[in-house]
Amino acid sequence: MSDTYPVSYYCPHCGAVVELDREGYLSDRSVTPYPLEGWEYAPPDEGFESADGVAVTCGESEAAGLSWTGERSPADDVSDPTEPLGCGRRFYLSFVRFEGGERVDPESESESVTIRDPTSPSGPRGPSGPGGPDGRP
């Protein structure tokens, strides 16, 4: 086994900071509250070096090489910084992946989503009369 190094991450839900001992050759891609589509994750107490990332449950510290610092990250992207540290929610550390020497990006979402402005009406515009809603015959 090669040398391991403690690397700090934070829970994107509550901001709790965790240190994970991992091998130096692994490159981080992202830490997200959801798994990347097409990535395979291992728990921190298994051989995650051969996986695409690590699935961590915030506040659990039974895995060797995983320790919670008791600190909270001041990062702007923490979804609820008022939530208690060690919120128990899962988050995902994703490593950079390569296939055939090329960097692999996560697969696109399988469905398109259209978000409407909730302040704009979604039905017909005005009363329909003999000429229809546009007033044309």
Digit-coded pLDDT (tens) for 76-121: 999 999 999 999 999 999 988 787 888 887 765 555 555 666 665 5
Q: Is residue 133 predicted with pLDDT exceeding 90?
A: no
Average pLDDT over residues 14-32: 88
Asked whether the beta carbons of 37 and 20 are under 8 A apart, the reply is no
pTM: 0.71
Q: Is 126 left (phi over 0), alpha (psi -120 to 50) or beta?
A: left
Q: Is residue 74 predicted with pLDDT exceeding 70?
A: yes
Strands (DSSP E) found in 33-105: 41-42, 53-57, 66-72, 90-95, 97-99, 102-104
pLDDT at 40 (0 to 100)? 92
Average pLDDT over residues 37-62: 89
Helix (H) or strand (E) holding 17: strand 16-23
